[in-house]
Structure 1
Amino acid sequence: MNQDEPQPVFQSFDPCAELLVSERNLPHWFQPGAAIFVTFRTADSMPAEVVQRWQRELEDWLRIRDLPIGLAQSTVSRHLMTHDRMMEQLAPNQRSEFQKRSDQLFHRSLDACHGACVLRDPEIAKIVGETLLFHRGTKYELDRLVVMPNHVHAIVQFDPESNLSVVSQSWMRYSARQINQALGTSGPFWQPEPFDHIIRSPEQFRYLQQYIFDNPAKANLRPGEFLYWERTNSNPPE
């Protein structure tokens, strides 16, 4: 980006503005013009034994606090209709702590680099990076991104005419086709449903910026084993 170009303004969640909620296996909260932290991962990044270990650790956390054990399975699978009802049994601070614990276990599992980890190859990672950057400045703005061996993190803010479907229909579908072609493979490359989180404050924006920046070092990756990009003069929203 040219230093003389006007810098995009990133906004955090506005509780008074319209909020769009959709759900497949995961809930997706979207607000036009609000920055979102997005994670998507390769189809082989979470083997069954890893998911089971994640669930057991959540069950232990819940059991110690005499909270509904079923929350562990519903959090991991996101298929149980009773998930929201069980979450309502937790006090607000317990819900926050449980979600934080679950997120930590999920990201720790990703950073352990399970699966083939083909994104470690710089040429394959470049396909993903170029895909995400292609519509920057037209359909959305990107603050930063990192392509890890088996997953991707990005902070993105969509234009009012665009929405989260760009992630699955453009980023994931297009890059999967290009990667399969480069590898001579076929079939699903990404886990179908991405994770997304509306950024709720400038403090959280700064935290997630630092998280993306630090992710390769925390996963003990060497230069050339990941791809990192950030916009110039990257600052949190006011």
Structure 2
Amino acid sequence: MDFRFFDPGAKTEISQGSLPHWEQANAYYFITWRTADSIPADVFEKWHAERCTWLRDHGIDPTLEDWQREVEMLPERDHREFYRLFTAKWHGMLDECHGECVLKQPRLSEIVEENLRHMDGEKYQLEAFVVMPNHVHVLAGIRGRGEMQSLCRNWKRYTAGRINALLGKSGQFWQWESFDHVVRSLASLEKFKKYILDNPVKARLKAGEFRAWAKPK
């Protein structure tokens, strides 16, 4: 099956929690999920409050489900500023390696990798992934409409159960919400792939403290 890049005119499923979620049929996605202790609650709440204030200052109601569409319609200067202040900053906070960072342990990161590869080529097509000490990035084409969030929940549910069992723990392992972005172009797909492969270097991780892979060209 051929996967598509974001189409402004196509049907889009939109849902929202602290982060917005957009889904289109048979699309490419860049998805990030993180451990529950990866960003301190007060740091995340400050980031979220600052984002809401910025949106309101630019005439956008952050409580609307489609506020992200309005961000896309802003002048390029404002759009870049939003990315720098909020999207890039959010990912930067993850790379600071807060929390226990238990995914540095190869036996635990292997669980995530095996689970990602399990249905590759069936429900989705992996393009790249990296398992970092406290978060995971996945770049993939996902089949069907409205499947992305369900698939992500399944990944998290299975791996959390396995990892908690090995650690002798129970309770929440992953943060409930994930960050996801519908990929807009081939250039963006390659940009996300490079970001994934460069992420361990940027975070100054040593060999064995991460797992990274990208589909050969």
TM range (shorter): 0.7 to 0.9
TM norm structure 2: 0.85
Runs of 5+ unmatched residues, structure 2: 57-61
Paired residue secondary structure (1:35): strand
1:124 is aligned with what amino acid?
Answer: L
TM-score (normalised: structure 1)? 0.78
Q: Among 60, 64, 71, which residue is 2:54 paired with? A: 71
Corresponding residue for 2:59? none
Are the counterparts in 2 of residues 125 and 147 from structure 1 also a CA contact under 8 Å? yes
Q: Deviations over 1:36-85 (max 9, x none)?
A: 000000000001353366469x58xxxxxxxxx82389xxxxxx637949
Runs of 4+ in structure 1 deviating by more than 4 angstroms, as ranges, are 52-56, 82-85
**2:94–2:135 CA contact under 8 A, matched in 1:** yes
Q: Structure 2: how far apart are the matches of 1:210 and 1:51?
A: 26
Deviation at 1:174? 0.5
Q: Deviations over 1:132-180 (max 9, x none)?
A: 1111111111101000000000111111266113334310001000000
Cα contact 1:148–1:216 (8 A) shared by 2:
yes
Deviations 1:182-220 (A, max 9, x none): 110000000001110000111111111100010000000
* Residue 226 (structure 1) aligned with residue 210 (structure 2): yes
Distance 1:40 1:132, change over 3 A: same
- Residue correspondence of structure 1 range 28-107 to structure 2 within 5 A: 28-51=21-44, 54=47, 70-71=53-54, 81=63, 84=67, 91-101=74-84, 102-107=86-91
Alpha-carbon separation, structure 2, partners of 1:72 and 1:150:
28
> Are the equivalent residues in 2 in contact too, given 1:140–1:162 (CA < 8 A)?
no
Residues 229 and 166 from structure 1, CA distance in 2 versus in 1: closer, same or farther, beyond 3 angstroms? Answer: farther
- Return the alpha-carbon distance in structure 2 between the equivalents of residues 162 and 93 of structure 1: 29
Count of aligned pairs between the two proteins: 210
Match of 2:112 in 1: 128
Match of 2:6 among 13, 19, 28: 13
1:118–1:150 contact (8 Å) kept in structure 2: yes
- Distance 1:72-1:55 versus aligned 2 partners, 3 A rule: farther
How large is the RMSD of aligned CA atoms in angstroms? 2.9
